[in-house]
Homo-oligomer: A and B are copies of this chain.
Amino acid sequence: MLRIPSSESPFLKALAGQTNAPPPIWLMRQAGRYLPEYREVRSKVSSFLDLCRTPELAAEVTLQPLRRFDLDAAIVFSDILIVPYALGQKVEFVEGEGPKLEPVSDARGLARLSKGSAAKAFAPVYETIERVRAELPRTVPLIGFCGAPWTVATYMVEGGGSKDQAEARLWAYREQANFQRLIDLLVDTSADYLLGQVAAGAGALQIFDSWAGSLPEDEFARWCIAPTRRLVEQVKAKAPDIPVIGFPRGSGVLAEHYARETGIDAIGCDTSQPIEWIRDRLQNLMPVQGNLDPLLLVAGGPHLDRRVASILAALGSGPFIFNLGHGIQPGTPIENVERLLHLVKTGSA
């Protein structure tokens, strides 16, 4: 695959440490339910997982937001639970309830997991990337992604989303060696998966650690930082030129350790992190991405304008990628997204 020269992409320039005016922008979950054209495609398949596994449709929804908005990157339409599915765990998406998995919480459950047919499960994602890459303007990079080992492990142990990841944290305290085996398996499988996405045409990668915030510092070092570092090392060993964004959501003060110790190229910031702190403690280390409140994009109005201006003022004079601090909400009005793009692209009201 021909690589995009980073000089032609503000997104890749920012990831390489350059300051852009205006900064590049993309939005987490930019392909999603707030778009009527997404809802139309979604209605053609019976399950969310089927949409992820049908390259023709997944490619279409990946491209939809790029047709509407002047976004600087696409992100492949998929889900972080593709990895447990690829390891043989039963994964379902129950409409209105979120994902349901058959929980793994002992050595027997671990023994049933296998990388044996992972490549087959990942193949549709790779094909989606190839299809998107063929249609995207060559200056627009496509982001590949996976969930961080800790976050994916919480879903595997809890059997779904959970309020405070208590089962996973408790198992990690009680049977550290077994939990480490699960994490190791996820590191290796996720490295293969990210490298497969790069081979298919992904020009940048993001690692989503959505539940990093539930870990106290010792466990954050053990289950968030260390596995992410090993994952990044394995990816960099074979794809040294592909930038990796880490997103340790909710990590607060600990984000600085994460930035220093994982080997990532850029860090995603969530809405709880103050922008001056991001500038002084993170942007001095590496490019930063974030962190508009997705609910403010739902609400819109003068408050949105003011906050976008504040973020641009605080972070725009260093390497920066404008994004939300969490995924876009299904109820977001399209005109508010248009307004956001206008504000960021023109730097003014």
Contact = CB atoms under 8 A, between A and B. Distances in A.
What is the oligomeric copy number? 2
Judged by DSSP, the binding face of A is: helix
A174 interface: yes
Given A252-B252, A253-B274, A170 B218 contact: no
A169 to B, nearest CB: 5
Interface of A: 163, 166, 169-170, 173-174, 213-219, 250-254, 271-275, 277, 291, 293, 295-296, 298-299, 301, 303, 307, 310, 325, 329
7 contacts: A163-B163, A170-B298, A173-B299, A173-B303, A216-B291, A218-B307, A253-B253
Contact of A272 (B166, B174, B213): B213
A169 B325 CA distance: 15
A169 B254 CA distance: 25
B254 A274 contact: yes
Contacts of A325: 216
Nearest to A254: B274
A274 B271 CA distance: 20
Contacts of A307: 216, 218
Contacts of A293: 169, 216, 219
Task: Pick from A216, A273, A299 the residue with the most CB of B within 10 Å.
Answer: A216
